[in-house]
Amino acid sequence: MVKLIVLGLLAGGFFSTTFVLNELMSVSGGHWFWSASLRYLFMWLLLSLMIVLQSRGKFTNLIGLCQLFLQHWRFWCVAGGVGFGGFYAFLCFGADYASGWVIAATFQFTVVASLFVLAFFGQRFSSAVIFYSVMIFVGVVMANIGEGLHAKPNSLPLIDTLLFGALPALLAGFCFPIGNQLVWQASQVHVVSGVSWRERQIAKIPLIKSPLLQNPFHKVWLLTTGSMPLWLVLWLFIRPDLPSGSQLLNTFFVALFAGVIATSLFLYARGHARQSHEVAGVDATQASEIIFALVGGMWLLNTPAPSLLSWLGIGLIVVGLVLFARQTA
């Protein structure tokens, strides 16, 4: 169990590089579009290389994934565009208006957003889970208000921090579980028992049966590929200046650390958990992203320490996440 917790904490540390490096690129003048899109371009290249290496140098699985993508390209573009593209575009946009640790703390609302997404697909939850979710939400609000009130005189107003920093992070928290749930739903047989609008929408999700989907990295590759059209459309509308060399390097590090290393460590730790409390323990370690992002921001960017209200909010988020993980394991 100790080994799994350590691996989960390592994964949280690598995941937190997303928030720290995004803030670093923002304060350095890098456009949020490149921070977002280049990560997925590098991820796609790294994942493609990993898939080939997993196949002992053969391109069989990669070709199979290309065929699977083309067979259901509309589905993968929606799932990848929302679950990966929308999710990360909102996070990078928010990094222009709030500190990395604030974005990391606000994004933890994704566990609450997951309940709304799962409820849409017909699942129900206990009152305890709902209570812990409210605890996390209150913590997110306290952390953001505390940061806004504690800001320096020349900082952005509280309303700008909330609207352009916290709100995009909250939206990202919804986008991520939507993409993941769509992929899970595509592997299930759809049983439509009525004619409600919700059931008609669920019935539109294609049933995709392929042994390739048993490998989680294959799913990530498909979702990453599906996000590419969104990045192209955003580029056509935004037309940002070309990224600097440092932004290229930092986005590569984000793709490597958060997209590949952190994901690998987390999936390995979760896959080796044998009991429900071990799974809950591994999931709860992801709350460490907030602390790692805070320490990284203070160390690399001289980010001010949070106010007392923000610390209380962070505490509520962490406790809520731990209790939530234990309850849902």
With contact defined as beta carbons under 8 Å apart, do 76 and 94 qualify? no
Q: What is the mean pLDDT of residues 69-75?
A: 95
pLDDT in tens, 123-150: 777 788 788 888 888 888 888 888 766 6
What pLDDT score does 249 carry?
95
Per-residue pLDDT reduced to its tens digit, 81-126: 999 999 999 999 999 988 888 899 898 888 788 888 888 877 777 7
Classify burial at 229, counting beta carbons within 10 Å of its beta carbon; exposed 0-12, middle 13-18, buried 19 or more.
middle
The pLDDT, as a whole number, for residue 151 is 61
Q: Which of 321, 112, 107, 87 is nearest to 224 (CA)?
A: 87
**Separation between Cα atoms, residue 102 and residue 107, nearest integer Å:** 8
Instruction: Characterise 211 by phi-psi region: left (phi > 0), alpha (psi -120 to 50), beta (else).
Output: alpha
DSSP states along 209-269: --GGGGSHHHHHHHHHHHHHHHHHHHHHHH-PPPPPHHHHHHHHHHIIIIIIIIHHHHHHH
Q: What is the pLDDT of residues 152-188, one digit of tens each?
A: 555 666 777 788 888 999 999 999 889 888 988 887 7
Confidence of residue 270 (pLDDT cuts 50, 70, 90): confident
State the amino acid at position 194 in one-letter form: G
How many other CB atoms are found less than 10 A from the CB of residue 134? 13
pTM: predicted TM-score of the whole model, two decimal places: 0.88
> Counting beta carbons within 10 angstroms of the beta carbon of residue 314, is it exposed (0 to 12), middle (13 to 18) or buried (19 or more)?
buried
Least confident of 159-163, 250-254, 280-284, 317-321: 280-284
Write down the pLDDT at residue 150. Answer: 66
Q: Are 92 and 134 in contact (CB under 8 A)?
A: no
The better pLDDT of the pair 198, 280 is held by 198
pLDDT recorded at residue 207? 87
The mean per-residue pLDDT over the stretch 216-240 comes to: 94
Query: What is the arithmetic mean of pLDDT over 260-280?
Result: 74
